Structure 1
Amino acid sequence: MFTFKTLLQTALVGLALSSTANVLAGEAFGKPYTAVGPVSAEQAQVVVYRPAAPHATNGAANVYVDREFHAALLPGGFSTLCVAAGVHSLGAALNGAPSYKGKETNAMWFTLAAGNTYFLRVGEDANMAPQFVKRDGAERELAGMRQQIQALSRASSVKACDYSQTGTSISQ
């Protein structure tokens, strides 16, 4: 037989669990997108993003740089990264656990020029091939998007961005 004490304890546990879920969901996103500055002549900068779509696939799109995990983008999220100028692979895969084949099969090789900024849109289609987008179009799509912060990059080639105009180094 349920007592008032048992019902109260059950209600409190339920409330705690639902509050935790809301906090965790809120912690997936950080600051809203603002235009990125130029990087030093030794680096290339990539802003990779996943637009919020009415019929977006559930789950995160895992983003890979040189076949190593960089970010898990939810719809409406973006990540900014910097690498040494040169040839790098960039790819994305949706719901790849547990095999994570997307870091191999969906990777595309690009030559990223020194001092340049690239905008890469992650799609919702099966192969998740990223698409380069011109800055003006990308920044229109990025308006209102928030930085993805729930996972740490494990991509060894990703470095802190050196914003040459300000003389500061900012990890994003």
Structure 2
Amino acid sequence: MFKHTTLFHAALLSAVLYNMPAAMAQDASPKALGSAYTPVAAVSADQAQVVYYRLPVANAQAGAANVYVDREFQSALLPGGYTAFCVTPGQHSLGAYLNDAPNYNGKNTDVYSAQLSGGMTYFLRVGEGANTAPQAVARAQAESELGATRQ
């Protein structure tokens, strides 16, 4: 049952995104994304938390940045969007890639690896230029930038 429900939701989301007007796909307004960023809570020692975000800049590249964790798709970030997730502590590959299709570099090449410690929160910003490496950002700076983002 769960598998079928998940597949249905994925198909529905794909249909919505495919039919979304181009202007809306570029807009990180409340109509396009979820709630505004609020500071994330601390996590337990058996988890590492990652907050990945994309700045809401006027010169952002078109389209979504596909976020991958351990070569698996996690989410897609429009300019001005963020996602927060937890993983087990240890070695993980992380990346966000613009204009990723059809090669899907996040799953196949250009994989960036990091050692994530339990009980820690890591803030990563999507690189908008040719540099696709995750940009680690200190919490204070990240949260000032995240104030203008939405989930």
Q: TM-score, normalised by structure 1?
A: 0.69
* 1:90 alignment partner AA: L
> Which one of the candidate residues 139, 142, 145 is aligned to 2:146?
142
Say which of 50, 53, 59 aligns to 1:55. 59
Query: In the alignment, what sits opposite 1:74?
Result: 78
Code of the residue aligned with 1:44 in structure 2: it is A
Identity of aligned residues (%): 57
Highest Rg: 1 or 2?
1
Unpaired runs of 5+ residues, structure 2, are 1-19
- Per the alignment, residue 100 of structure 2 pairs with 96
Question: Considering only aligned residues, what root-mean-square deviation do their CA atoms show, in Å?
Answer: 1.8
Residue in structure 2 matching 1:38, options 4, 28, 42? 42
Gaps of 5+ in 1: 1-19, 148-172
| Cα offsets for 1:91-139 (capped at 9, x unmatched) | 1110111221233323211110000000000010123111110000000
Q: Partner of 2:35: helix, strand, or coil?
A: strand
Displacement of 1:27: 5.7
Higher strand share: 1
* Matched residue type, 1:41: A
| Paired residue secondary structure (1:137) | helix
What is the aligned length? Answer: 127
Q: TM-score, normalised by structure 2?
A: 0.78
Aligned mates of 2:41, 2:143 — CA distance in 1? 13
AA matched with 1:49: Y
